[in-house]
Structure 1
């Protein structure tokens, strides 16, 4: 059985666009088209699904993990599950198509080839084929029936096989400035400890003020904001992989000194508490 979950999205003119997710137990699929919507303006997040992002019009700066991409109309970005990312748009005019799906929808032989392909795809000759595939997915998604999950799975398989066949069109990563790469590496290595802007700046030999400005400019995140999001991401993984570990222990292991503060931040980002996440994970494991 397919369950429909509806979402309300506020547009730039104040209108509301209804979108929906198709979901069965352990499976998730979400499709959305947006044009000039406020919700496109740089939301930061991560999720336990793969994300396919196709820019229909305009341009976009896409920060994925610790790498920055410049995305142009006709480009497709593939983001792995559980990866912190953020978009910001230099132009007012933009349109994009977004798909979030669980690994159930990805062919097994494609999964083995995904690691080197989690990049930006740019190939003008491929755009008509991508638009056609996305159009078929859109049509099926907007008019679901008892066969929709099977049809969507088939279309998604074709989309992923198309990307694998055209792996040569995967662009090189646009590297972050050395200072920012060093700062991100330091945060990732020491997130469970006390990490401060001043200490990080001292380690990489620049002023805290300069690091703060540069970090925000290049990643779209504030220094503390990125640190907190990374800690939450690690905590989410630990809550699932260590079901018998107390929530307070998870909080401390991921760099939070106050378990109540951790729970508040977690709920603000995810929309549910760490306890609720545990309950959901237990349900999927059949506990």
Structure 2
């Protein structure tokens, strides 16, 4: 089991997996930046309101707080995963990252990416007093390499439009009453067809995605507006019952909305 390197305000995690059950792909998001390199196999990657077919040699770049899920076919697969705080991303690369999100496909760069990831892997597995500085330099080099070779990226084929339209509608109206039937009517498909296609392509049920998005927005609001009542946060994010919201939040996160605020207050006090 890989162990994260964490110091105040900094976080770095590296992991290789081959055909592991944990690769089944639970829906989640992080407070860190994610780099996902598919070494072997293929998968569907649902990121925010986009669906991508990821092939061996592809690199997936996911910003903090972005809901995502992987769906793997029953084939051999291997991947490398990095989660890191912004400390590991060069400041002068930040404004150049958006065009590179989410799927980075540049076949000519794959050997160089594998070599860079191999160096990071070795440093991570054999840490010493200088490892944090070395890993920072290695990640900086990786990001600079991605930006420098961005023009060589291949264009990505368009994805099923119904899914993108449905997710865009959910994102725009999550604070209101959103139903499968209303969404299907707006994009001119039957509810049954939308339900099947949504689950097949994303790995999420329609209601699952809506709830996860609402919880994600609620988490951000709980942190950014500490004086707002829990019930007000719940209603602002589309939950009609604050008790149901608290129960759902605890089931997903493992702690209550109040506990999240206590954790956030503690972190602010330390920093």
- Judge same fold: TM > 0.5, yes or no: yes
Residue 67 of structure 1 contacts residue 174 of structure 1 at CA under 8 Å; is this kept in 2?
no
Distance 1:38 1:123, change over 3 A: same
Query: What is the root-mean-square deviation of aligned Cα atoms in Å?
Result: 1.5
- How far did residue 173 of structure 1 move? 4.2
Paired positions, count? 270
Shift of 1:234: 0.6
Moved more, 167-176 or 177-186: 167-176
Contact 2:47 2:68 in 1 (8 A): yes
- What CA deviation, in whole Å up to 9, does each residue of 1:36-93 have, x standing for no partner? 0011112211111110000111111111111111111111111111111111112420
Query: What secondary structure sits across from 2:96 in the alignment?
Result: coil
Task: Out of 276-285 and 236-245, give the one that drifted further.
Answer: 276-285
Partners of 1:167 and 1:110 lie apart in 2 by 12
Do the aligned partners of 2:32 and 2:85 also contact (CA within 8 Å) in 1?
Answer: yes
Deviation at 1:264, TM superposition (A): 2.5
Task: List runs of 5+ in structure 2 lacking aligned partners.
Answer: none
**By how many angstroms is 1:25 displaced?**
1.7
Q: 3-state DSSP class of the match of 1:46?
A: coil
1:272 maps to 2:258 = no
The answer as to whether partners of 1:57 and 1:95 remain within 8 angstroms in 2 is: yes
Q: CA deviation at 1:190?
A: 1.0
Aligned counterparts of 2:117 and 2:9: Cα–Cα separation in 1: 23
- Equivalent residue of 1:134, what SS? helix
Deviates more, 1:31-40 or 1:276-285: 276-285
In the aligned structure 2, how far is the partner of 1:116 from the partner of 1:187?
24
How many Å separate the matches in 2 of 1:53 and 1:100? 9
Q: Note if contact 2:30-2:64 (Cα within 8 Å) is conserved in structure 1.
A: yes
Of the structure 1 ranges 175-184 and 224-233, higher mean CA displacement relative to structure 2 is found in 175-184
**Residues 176 and 218 in structure 1, CA contact (< 8 A), matched pair in contact too:** no
Residues 140 and 273 (structure 1 numbering): CA distance in 2 closer, same or farther, change over 3 Å?
A: farther
CA 1:73–1:43 in 2, change beyond 3 Å: closer, same or farther? same
Residue of 168, 185, 192 corresponding to 1:209: 192
Matched residue of 1:20: which SS? coil
Displacement, 1:181?
A: 2.1
User: Residues 171, 286 of structure 1: CA spacing in aligned structure 2 closer, same or farther, 3 A cutoff?
Assistant: farther
| Contact 1:67/1:175 (8 A) holds in 2 | no
CA shift in 2, pair 1:133/1:271, >3 Å: farther
Shift of 1:243: 1.1
Shift in Å, 1:114: 1.0
**Preserved contact between residue 214 and residue 237 of structure 2 (Cα < 8 Å):** yes
8 A Cα contact 2:106 2:154, kept in partner: no
Distance 1:47 1:158, change over 3 A: same
Query: Displacement, 1:178?
Result: 2.5
Selected match of 1:162 from 141, 145, 153: 145
The answer on whether the counterparts of 1:119 and 1:171 sit within 8 Å (CA) in structure 2 is: no
Unaligned runs of 5+ in 1: 1-17
Cα distance change on mapping 1:172 and 1:266 into 2, 3 Å: farther
Contact 1:27 1:102 in 2 (8 A): yes
Residues 68, 173 of structure 1: 8 Å contact kept:
no
- Cα 1:171–1:245 shift into 2, 3 Å: farther
- Residues 238 and 142 (structure 1 numbering): CA distance in 2 closer, same or farther, change over 3 Å? same
| Separation in 2, partners of 1:203, 1:106 | 40
CA distance in 2, matches of 1:30, 1:276: 25
Question: 8 Å contact 2:71–2:202 — kept in the other structure?
Answer: no
